[in-house]
Structure 1
Amino acid sequence: MTGTITLSGLRARGRHGVYDFERAQGQDFVVDAELRLDLRPAAASDDVTDTVHYGELAQRLVEVISGEPVNLIETLADRLLDVCLTDPRVTTATVTVHKPEAPVPHTFTDVAVTMSRGRTR
């Protein structure tokens, strides 16, 4: 039985973007991650080692967001997917990277990229 673990609204500061001022000043990025995996072992054992520890996942995602800069949030989303799929129990992951402070010369609420990937066998 496949279930979903969702981590929404993870906020961290990064220096991603194509413009020099984005790299120099940095900005907040918000990430949503959804992991699909069999949750029956964790439900049966009531043991965190039988599932993905979302606190540890959040820490690894923040390390990527605040780490090496990239030009595009598509590239950032792909790197975050790599982190989500590190645990072999995860069959599919979806990541949305929000860039609410994107340098858009018009009033807007959010810019986001969503990418999904399944485990390759």
Structure 2
Amino acid sequence: MAQEFARIFAETNTIAVVGISEKPGRAGHYVPEYLAGQGYEILGVTPSGHNSLASQSARTLDELGRQVDLVLMFRRSDQVGEHLADILKLDPLPRVVWMQTGIRNDVFARALEARGIEVVSDRCAMVEHRLL
């Protein structure tokens, strides 16, 4: 898995964080903050459409109007499917959708994989990046 994660991070420049948080104690804040510190461009997707960590924020992925290499999910397992249509509308499609620790939805993952999108489930992007 380490080689796969190394490849994913090497091929990634822009990360859209769905569920990014302004609260420093939440993973939805400190994980994107760490990734930004590693040189990745962070785009935020949050109901308010605003986030101070992100170089650009919007209410939906579609509203970003940008190419995204990786979509990083900070939503509950039963809520990630709500973003499937938005992810599949992106042009070009993101190469990877990454669901953070504790987040897994096999139906969502299969739908993404059927469109050629690589899926990582139940893993922390910050932890995996630090292990490289």
Both structures adopt the same fold (TM-score exceeding 0.5)? no
Larger radius of gyration: 1
TM-score of the two chains, using structure 2 as the length reference: 0.28
More helix by share: 2
More strand by share: 1
